[in-house]
């Protein structure tokens, strides 16, 4: 025990006193435990190098509505453009929140929808499984036994917490802006599938099944979990594995899943606060000063970040024990997800693992561009009344073809 403790102190001392040595060991993946320590270390060990050919490309290609940061395979910041300007990231926000979730869960864990019982009182409680459907509800209800009095309680969050700050009224009218609730039938994407429809469904099912019983259906606040203290688990529905849900969130950019996973991981179902995410990044030494985090999915227009933050974060993620799993959740250029129809059957196909972000007046593209089997990190965000997605993808192609830093 003491030996491990002293080894940890020596490595920590080396991180502080010998950044160049540590960077060399990290780049070459010499010591596995060092990677883990660095990922959790409250600091960034990187350097900046002047690359005239990269800088010239950015200056020639972009206007001031763009921000770009490029970090090479060695963790060196080789070029940037407006990279400390605060921008709305759209769904690039999911790059942070999905990593946070993966840091809190094991990839094969699940979300659960549970039926509890205490005497003749039944309680239904969920965790925001995005694939929950009425067949699952019927399976749970089939466990209820006949009794003169059946008291059924549906636990749900307070309605004021259904939507994060910055989601507009218009957003809430569409599937991509469905309310974020713990008991969501197919991610609440049908406007009529709200908690009251679920209540009516359960009421009809139980009254039809137990015609001689007095059935009472109640809605209770999930904050009053003391109701469940002396209850027994009767049955559970399990979601797809967390890794599969993160793939839905990142590759397909599914807002509900991103929010649901984050709320479970941060235990913030009843308050739309995302300070846990910002503090998590801050504790890793990342530059979050003046940034704003108002949701996990990126639909909020109140989010404000920099491409420098995105790129430095992605660079640090390379040293996480979960990096392979994390990268596997991303969209792949020309292969799958929101990038699946781009650059199909070209030399770039399958070479970029990343995340798009699209809102009115916003486009973002960030991720890992593999060149000679080594990842270059690129973050591009444009905030403008005249969004030019093609310029962003052309820049990605130009960077792939560009020679090494001169």
Please indicate, yes or no, whether residues 15 and 163 belong to a single structural domain of this protein. no
| 224 and 261 part of one domain | no
Other CB atoms within 10 A of residue 218 CB? 12
Q: Are residues 190 and 279 in the same domain?
A: no
CA distance 193 to 183: 10
18 vs 239 pLDDT, higher one:
239
Report the pLDDT value the prediction gives residue 36, as an integer from 0 to 100: 82
Please report whether residue 84 resides in a domain.
yes
Mean pLDDT of 83-101: 98
pLDDT for 154 equals: 95
Task: Name which of 11-20, 42-51, 105-114, 375-384 the model is least confident about.
Answer: 11-20
In a domain, 140, yes or no: yes
Same domain membership, residue 117 and residue 102:
no
Task: Report how many domains make up the chain.
Answer: 3
Integer angstrom CA distances of residue 196 from 156, 169, 184, 200, 217: 11, 21, 11, 6, 11
Q: Taking a C-beta distance cutoff of 8 angstroms, is the pair 363, 338 a contact?
A: no
The CATH number assigned to the domain holding 281 equals 3.40.710.10
For residues 196 and 134, state if they share a domain: yes
Q: What is the pLDDT of residue 14?
A: 60
**Burial profile 259-270: b = 16 or more Cβ within 10 angstroms, e = fewer:** bbbbbbbbebbe
pLDDT above 90 for 360: yes
pLDDT at 176: 94
Q: Which two tokens stand for residue 255?
A: 């807002």
Whether 148 and 252 share a structural domain: no
406 part of a folded domain? no
Count of other CB atoms within 10 angstroms of residue 50: 10
pLDDT score at 210: 95
**336/323 Cα distance (integer angstroms):** 19
Q: Which of 214, 239, 264 is the last residue of a domain?
A: 239
Range 210-220 average pLDDT: 94
The residue written with tokens 């235990």 in the block is 267
Q: Tell whether 369 and 249 lie within a shared domain.
A: yes
**pLDDT classification of 189: cutoffs 50, 70, 90:** confident
Per-residue tokens: 38? 């660095």
Condensed to tens digits (0 to 9), the pLDDT of residues 32-65 reads 677 788 888 888 888 889 999 999 999 999 999 9
Listed residues 204, 239, 274: the one ending a domain? 239
**Residue 4 falls inside a structural domain:** yes
Residues 279 and 369 in one domain: yes
Domain end call among 183, 204, 239: 239
Express each pLDDT in 118-130 by its tens digit.
888 999 999 999 9
CA atoms within 13 A on the CB side of 99: 26
310 within some domain: yes
Residue range 273-280: average pLDDT?
A: 95
What does the alpha-carbon distance between residue 24 and residue 153 come to, in Å, rounded to a whole number? 58
Q: Which two tokens stand for residue 52?
A: 């005239």
Give the per-residue SS3 of the chain: CHHHHHHHHHHHHHHHHCHHHHHHHHHCCCCHHHHHHHHHCCCCCCEECCCHHHHHHHHHHCCCCEEEEEECCCCEEEEEECCCCCECCHHHHHHHHHHHHHHHCCCCCCCEEEEEEECCEEEEECCCCCCCCHHHHHHHHCCCCCCCEEEEEEEECCHHHCCCCCCCCCHHHCHHHCCCCCCCHHHHCCCCCCHHHHHHHHHHHHHHHCCCCEEEEEEEECCCHHHHCCCEEEEEEECCCHHHHHHHHHHCCCHHHHHHHHHHHHCCCCCCCCHHHHHHHHCCCCCCCCCECCCCCCCCCCCEECHHHHHHHHHHHCCCCCHHHHHHCCEECCCEHHHCCCCCCCCCCCCEEEEEEEECCEEEEEEEEEECCEEEEEEEEEECCCCCHHHHHHHHHHHHHCCCCC
Q: Which of 130, 103, 92 is nearest to 326 (CA)?
A: 103
What would the pLDDT profile of 18-34 be if each residue is shown by its tens digit?
Answer: 565 566 666 655 566 77
What distance in Å separates the CA atoms of residue 69 and residue 311, rounded to the nearest whole number? 6
Do 232 and 198 lie in one domain? The reply is yes
**Does 264 share its domain with 390?**
yes
Tokens of 365: 């593209």
Q: How many CB atoms lie within 10 A of CB 347?
A: 11
Q: Is residue 371 part of a domain?
A: yes
Instruction: Specify if 261 maps to a domain.
Output: yes
**pLDDT band at 163, cuts 50/70/90?**
very high
Averaged pLDDT, 365-387: 96
- Residue 25 shares a structural domain with residue 75: no
190 and 305 inside one domain: no
Residue 343 lies in a domain: yes
Containing structural domain, residue 95: 48-106+244-401
- Say which range, 45-54, 196-205, 375-384, has the weakest mean pLDDT: 45-54
Report whether 314 contacts 95 (CB < 8 A).
yes
374 DSSP β-pair partners: 371
Higher pLDDT, 87 or 406: 87
Confidence of residue 5 (pLDDT cuts 50, 70, 90): low
Considering only 153-167, 192-206, 336-350, 364-378, which range has the smallest mean pLDDT?
192-206
Pairwise CA distance, residues 188 & 128, whole Å = 10
């Amino acid at each position: 025990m003491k030996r491990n403790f002293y080894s940890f102190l020596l490595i920590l001392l080396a991180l502080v006193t010998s950044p160049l040595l540590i960077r060399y060991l990290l780049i070459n993946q010499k010591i596995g435990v060092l990677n883990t320590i660095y990922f959790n270390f409250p600091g960034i060990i990187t350097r900046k190098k002047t690359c005239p050919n990269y800088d010239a490309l950015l200056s020639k290609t972009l206007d001031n509505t763009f921000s770009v940061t490029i970090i090479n395979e060695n963790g060196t910041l080789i070029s940037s453009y407006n990279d400390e300007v605060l921008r709305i990231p759209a769904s690039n926000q999911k790059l942070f929140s999905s990593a946070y979730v993966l840091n809190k869960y094991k990839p094969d864990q699940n979300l659960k929808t549970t039926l509890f019982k205490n005497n003749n009182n039944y309680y239904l409680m969920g965790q925001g499984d995005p694939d929950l459907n009425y067949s699952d509800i019927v399976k749970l209800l089939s466990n209820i036994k006949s009794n003169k009095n059946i008291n059924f309680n549906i636990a749900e969050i307070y309605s004021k917490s259904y939507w994060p700050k910055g989601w507009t009224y218009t957003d809430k009218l569409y599937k991509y802006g469905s309310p974020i609730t713990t008991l969501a039938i197919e991610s609440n994407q049908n406007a009529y599938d709200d908690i009251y429809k679920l209540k009516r469904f359960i009421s009809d099912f139980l009254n039809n099944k137990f015609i001689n019983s007095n059935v009472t259906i109640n809605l209770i606040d999930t904050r009053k979990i003391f109701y469940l203290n002396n209850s027994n688990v009767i049955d559970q529905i399990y979601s797809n594995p967390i890794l599969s849900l993160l793939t839905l969130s990142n590759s397909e950019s599914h807002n509900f899943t991103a929010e649901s996973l984050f709320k479970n991981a941060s235990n913030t179902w009843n308050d739309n606060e995302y300070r846990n995410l910002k503090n998590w990044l801050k504790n890793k030494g990342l530059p979050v000063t003046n940034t704003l985090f108002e949701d996990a999915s990126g639909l909020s227009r109140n989010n404000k970040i920099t491409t420098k933050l995105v790129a430095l974060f992605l660079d640090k993620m390379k040293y996480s024990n979960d990096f392979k799993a994390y990268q596997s959740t991303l969209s792949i250029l020309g292969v799958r997800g929101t990038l699946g129809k781009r650059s199909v059957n070209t030399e770039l196909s399958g070479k970029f693992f990343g995340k798009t972000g699209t809102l009115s007046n916003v486009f973002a593209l960030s991720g890992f561009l593999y060149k000679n089997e080594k990842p270059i990190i690129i973050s591009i965000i444009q905030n403008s009344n005249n969004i030019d997605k093609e310029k962003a993808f052309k820049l990605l192609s130009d960077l792939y073809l560009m020679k090494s830093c001169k």
